[in-house]
Amino acid sequence: MKRRVLAIAVACATLGVAVGAISVPTRSRAGIVASQNEIASKVGADVIRDGGTAVDAMVAVGFALAVTHPTAGNIGGGGFLVYRPASGQPVAYDFRETAPAKASPTMWMPGGKYDPQVHHNSYLAVGVPGTVAGLHLAWKEQGKLPWRRLVEPAIALARDGFVVSDGLSRSLRNVQRQMAKYPASVAQFTKNGVPYEPGEILKQPDLAKTLERIAASGPAGFYEGETAALIEKEMLANGGIISREDLKNYKAVKRTPVKGTYRGYEIIAMPPPTSGGVTMIEALNILEGYDLKKMGANSADAVHVMAESMKRAYADRAKYLGDPDFNPKMPVDMLLSKAHADELRKTISLKHTAPASPEKFDWPHESDETTHISIVDGNLNAASMTYTLEQGYGVKIVVPGAGFLLNNEMGDFNAGPGITTAQGLIGTEPNLTAPGKRMLSSMAPTILAKDGQLFMVTGSPGGRTIINTTLETIVGVLDFGLNAQEAVDAPRFHHQWLPDEINYERHGFSPDTLRALAQRGHALKEGGAQGVAQVIIYNAEDKVLEGGTDRRVPDGAAIAVPARK
């Protein structure tokens, strides 16, 4: 035990994590809210204190993050929410953005040649936003407190302002150049072109007015009326294709979660159009055939079989997964089956890695700048939500007069039918652009249960690394006995099939481990921090919740719900 904690301490110190607190999770019997922003986490904890459910708290945190964490918190983007009530069946809410009615598979190929700027950094890159509709649908079915009560904290934060942290100050300074050509963005996130300094107050009055319309009218306050008119006006003036009709027609969708088991624990995760749940469960099914505990955390043996399992699951992701409404024959049941995992495991050698398949698929760009929230209330209702604008600050465009950032999620569609890149990759049919279609994602909000009782809530941002970061928190807890904070702090790595390499966090693994992996034929690539996980575990024996928040980035917090007044 001492050796494991020491290893985690060394890795966390190099990642900028406070070593003195690495193994100490937040504990509470009344509920925990874990998010990437302390202000937003406190908003959610207060909602639960006032009698709200985990979904009530999630709605309030989601809107608060749109104010305090503008790089990924949003009302102009979309995402996914998995909810497990203390009694009853779990449910999944899909509020992924959709392609406008005028979208087409070849829209990223003006003149027949692929243009990445059009695909990722233009008004055409904006998908029809889903966040407001998704949060409202979840609240309507699972909420308890009035809608206005949940939006009001965000309104106050936007109207009255909040203190800019060092992390937010640096983030806004870094994005200023990219926002420079959009006057509304410059007006909202600088002081007449001068960056905000830590300790100053950031007010967003136009965003407050938009949130007020949402508080008063629900989704109609966003998808119709003044807000919709402002969005359409900005689109028409700049070559965008989202219309008021696209906005009015947007619908969040309630779906059935995908389920699996691992070491006797039930895995409840998000189904397509995100690939996160299916790919993660497939990889866990393969790993279930190995004694990871005996191999040891961060050992070459464990990393090898985990990477090989990731590689095979990601290959299936590329080949099969997309929007289920456009791909009705996706073999999801086969991908989730233990039999499929057994066959894939037979192809794994413990002594060396196998080269990636000669089949090649395009990996459309998927940004790391997403955000995740995990919440459990005092009655053990659990909610796990990941949502995003795609890249940090989305397409960097604030809608004039409306005060919120637009996403660039259309970049998650494949570049075009049959398109070939310099790396020799070719596009795949399930994720080509089409009107009304939801782009494939890697977001993986996940909940675990044991013997009918809540056990764990987890998830992370990080583009395609999301799946493996979430998987590694689960393996850390179930195989290596880590608590919530240790599971978050533990070093991470990633393999996505193509390129055929293991990306690992700088200083996260010993030279001996890296040498042994190289000897087995693995290509290794050192990188920076991977993911920003938020984890909550329920200790049934002590009847206490413990939360872990990721200190790889600033400003996050797992907040214990205060006792009710």
Which are the catalytic amino acids? 370
Q: Residue 50 half-sphere exposure, CB side, CA atoms within 13 Å?
A: 15
Instruction: Please give the Cα distance from 510 to 153 (Å, whole number).
Output: 46
Helix (H) or strand (E) holding 489: helix 484-489
Instruction: Please give the Cα distance from 288 to 283 (Å, whole number).
Output: 9
Q: Residue 75 half-sphere exposure, CB side, CA atoms within 13 Å?
A: 37
Helix, strand, coil % in the chain, rounded to nearest 5? 40, 20, 45
Alpha helices in 96-203 (DSSP H): 116-120, 131-142, 147-160, 166-179, 183-189
522's CB contacts (< 8 A; 6+ apart) are: 304, 307, 353, 501, 502
536's CB contacts (< 8 A; 6+ apart) are: 32, 34, 374, 375, 376, 382, 456, 457, 458, 484, 545, 546, 547, 548, 558
Ramachandran bin of 117, using left for φ above 0, alpha for ψ from -120 to 50, beta for the remaining angles = alpha
Using the structure block, give the residue that is written with the tokens 């909040």. Answer: 162
- At position 556, the amino acid (one-letter code) is G
Contact present, 476 and 448 (Cβ < 8 Å): no
Instruction: Please give the Cα distance from 92 to 33 (Å, whole number).
Output: 19
Q: Count of residues for the chain?
A: 565
Contact present, 196 and 169 (Cβ < 8 Å): yes
Strands 524-527, 502-505: parallel, antiparallel or unpaired by DSSP?
A: parallel
285's CB contacts (< 8 A; 6+ apart) are: 260, 262, 336, 337, 338, 340, 341
DSSP conformational letter for 550: -
C-alpha angle with apex 553: 545 to 392, nearest 5 degrees?
115
Contact present, 70 and 189 (Cβ < 8 Å): yes
